[in-house]
Structure 1
Amino acid sequence: MDDPNADTEWNDILRARGIIPPKDEQSKEAIEDLYVDALNARKKEEESLENKTLDELDELEDELDDDRIILEYRKQRLQEMQKLAEKDKYGEVTQISKPDFVKEVTEASKECYVVVHLFKDYIPACKLMNQHLAQLAKEFKSTKFVKIIGDQCIPNYPDRNVPTLLVYGEGDIKANIVGAVAFGGMNMTVSSIRAQLANVGAVPPEKKEDEGDKKKRSIYSSAATAALSSDEEESDNDDRGYY
Structure 2
Amino acid sequence: MERSDIRKLDTELDINFPEPHPAVVDRSWRILIAAASEDSGNLASELPRYGHKIAAVDTGIMAMKLFDRADILLLDPDLPDFDGFEVCRSIRARDTMPIILVTDRDSELDCVLGLRSGADDYLARPFGIRELIARIDSVMRRARPEPCDKPPAVRCGSLQIDNATREVVVQGRRIALTRKEFDLLGMLARRPGIVVPRHQILREVWDGSWSRHTLDTHVSSLRMKLGSSDWIVAVRGIGFKLIPPATIAP
Which interval holds the TM-score relative to the shorter structure? under 0.3
Task: Give the greater-gyration-radius structure (CA).
Answer: 1
Q: Which of structures 1 and 2 has the larger relative contact order (alpha carbons within 8 angstroms, sep 6+)?
A: 1
Greater strand fraction, Structure 1 or Structure 2: 2
> Please, what TM-score do these two structures have when normalized by structure 2?
0.25
Greater helix fraction, Structure 1 or Structure 2: 1
> Please, what TM-score do these two structures have when normalized by structure 1?
0.25
